[in-house]
Structure 1
């Protein structure tokens, strides 16, 4: 048995107390506007963001963060953390990653099997990818596996948001996850090979959805 598998499952679990389930990353507004209204449109929205948004920026950045933690390149970690925070197009998206990063840092301090470097606490603001990458490195989770789990966790949260906001049935949610899971190997492979000068978070539809969500009258989610 792979000894890191239980830690990988723990890190990717919806039970991880970082509050990910409270965010939809603009999906709730896409439902409100009618862009997402059934299983097919929910899958199209989430898959597009996976492959053209998070898969082209957040995923390779998270992978680079894990490499940096492994090499104790603290200046590089600080730079990547600042770059990720600067990439958040709306106040909700920025608040989301900071809240989740804060919660994960607090959780890692409360666990007994990780020695956290002082550089982690030296960061005034911690984005969620920074904490995830540190935990993955500390638990010696292979990079491809940790990145797959990171993206799976994101897909699962997006799917659960669609189930609540559209709403969709449980079977529809599982069909969406099955389809997204089939795309993950390709997204991970590309993220691990993508050079930084080719990283891109250009997703104007997502940015507009998140901005519009900030003034949406009726909301279930915080983003």
Structure 2
């Protein structure tokens, strides 16, 4: 069983999984436009802040509460209200929708069908971290492994996009990913120590940059 879920988890977090993650910067492109991110060091700094804030207080806590048995419809509704930047909210729904579709074909389960049914009937929107969490939990992936994998997959997608956008060299991208190991490990620990009142307490600076992207003069990414 262990080998089975580990292979499934690798498939779910593979950069080749067609969820559309390559089309989203989740705000870092605004920092490039303002001249605040422009090389390996400055992108790494932004990435650490993103992991420690948005991934912890939004996606990470959503995953944890889902694993703890909080109703997926409630979590979906709260996430929709918390994602203040329209583009980031839409990115979560686009990637979540693709993940629900892929999961329904590749990793079907009763739990997944419940969430897909809610989305079809308009009772939920279908956010990426919840789609991932429902699939991972149905595969019996332990929470800490699911959260670590989800966070690092997000970090990998963003770094691959930064390699194109800044641009960074491929080796520089790998160095960024290596340095991000500690940030992800710390973020996983933080998620386990927070409470419901912390859910959605994302840094305003990140959210403002994500809102600015919508009106950016020139851009490569959808968010």
Calculate the TM-score normalised by the size of structure 2: 0.91
What's the RMSD between the two structures over aligned residues?
Answer: 1.6
CA contact (8 A) 1:56 1:201 kept: yes
CA offsets 1:143-177 (integer angstroms, 9 cap, x no match): 10000001001111111121111111011111110
Q: Offset at 1:52?
A: 2.6
CA contact (8 A) 2:29 2:219 kept: yes
Q: What does residue 186 of structure 1 align with?
A: 186
Q: What does residue 89 of structure 1 align with?
A: 84
Cα distance in structure 2, aligned partners of 1:170 and 1:119 = 38
Q: Offset at 1:113?
A: 4.8
Q: Offset at 1:110?
A: 1.7
CA contact (8 A) 1:65 1:129 kept: no
Q: Which ranges in structure 2 are unaligned for 5 or more consecutive residues?
A: none
What is the count of residue pairs matched by the alignment? 217
Q: Offset at 1:192?
A: 2.1
Q: What does residue 130 of structure 2 align with?
A: 130
Q: What does residue 144 of structure 2 align with?
A: 144
Cα distance in structure 2, aligned partners of 1:11 and 1:111 = 10
Q: Which ranges in structure 1 are unaligned for 5 or more consecutive residues?
A: none
2:207 aligned with 1:207: yes
CA offsets 1:59-89 (integer angstroms, 9 cap, x no match): 1221211332xxxx5xx21111111111112
Equivalent of 2:114 in 109, 112, 118: 118
Moved over 6 A (4+): none
Cα distance in structure 2, aligned partners of 1:33 and 1:101 = 30
CA contact (8 A) 1:90 1:211 kept: yes
Q: Offset at 1:105?
A: 1.2
Q: Offset at 1:3?
A: 2.9
Cα distance in structure 2, aligned partners of 1:112 and 1:176 = 32
2:164 aligned with 1:168: no
Q: What does residue 56 of structure 1 align with?
A: 57
